[in-house]
Amino acid sequence: MLGLLMQGFLLTIEIFAVTLIGALPLGILVALGRMSRFKPLQWLMRIYISIMRGTPLMLQLMAIMFGPYYLFGIQLGTDWKYYACGIGFIINYAAYFAEIYRSGIQSIPRGQYEAANVLGYSHSQTFMRIVLPQVIKRIVPAMGNEIITLVKDTSLAFVLGLLEMFNEAKILAASEVSMIPYLLAGVIYWVICFVIEILLTHLEKKLDYYHD
């Protein structure tokens, strides 16, 4: 039982890691587009964020999985479910991260940019040396909430037939007529979230020298 759960656990961690690797940088690009002075780009990003945040992730995963066939008649291989899962999670979480980035950047007083300009800093130097450290400190709690939510959302991959930890627990529970697999899966999810919480708390303490 534990061996199968561990196999599912590895896929859960893979989904989690792929999502962070893809969504964190994509979220920055979306946030910059959302704040762009170029109105068409700004509105495009606003619509994208609205759709991603306003529709269920499960529905988005199914749309990406089955969309190519139903819309264009394209039949993709059995590995497509893994790519669909990664794409779905990345574009969904990038929208949430983008709004967190945007709120963090816009929370910095305009006077800091003006003061840096007077001191001879370029726009990029101002952002990297003055603005970014403060933004990171301010967004850590919100980012932490989303990252912990992501751990639990990986269970939604079951709709694509992926044998991540929740799906393995469900199959084991049905075959053994027992709640033990669900209990074990729940404990593992909690441990992952607890470890992440500890790491984020440590990061917040590290950033305490950036006083608001």
pLDDT digits (tens, 9 = 90+) for 98-107: 999 999 988 8
Residues 18/94, Cβ–Cβ less than 8 Å = no
Segment 5-13 mean pLDDT? 92
Residues 206/45, Cβ–Cβ less than 8 Å = no
- Of the candidate ranges 3-17, 74-88, 103-117, 145-159, the one whose mean pLDDT is the lowest: 103-117
Identify which has the larger pLDDT, 53 or 118: 53
- DSSP alpha helices (H): ranges in 130-210? 132-153, 165-176, 180-206
H or E element in which residue 36 lies: none
In tens, the pLDDT along 74-122 reads 888 889 999 999 999 999 999 999 999 999 988 888 888 888 888 888 8
Q: Which two tokens stand for residue 127?
A: 């952002």
Query: How confident is the model at residue 1, as a pLDDT?
Result: 66
Q: Which two tokens stand for residue 47?
A: 């619509």
Query: How confident is the model at residue 76, as a pLDDT?
Result: 86
User: In terms of Cα–Cα distance, which of 121, 120, 127 is closest to 104?
Assistant: 127
User: In terms of Cα–Cα distance, which of 144, 143, 148, 185 is closest to 163?
Assistant: 185
Residues 184/169, Cβ–Cβ less than 8 Å = yes
Domains and CATH numbers, the chain: 2-209 (1.10.3720.10)
Rounded CA-CA distance 73/85 in Å is 20
Rounded CA-CA distance 26/31 in Å is 9
**For the whole model, what pTM was predicted?**
0.90
Q: Which residues, in sequence order, are CB contacts of 5 under 8 Å at separation 6+? A: 165, 168, 169, 172, 181, 184, 185, 188
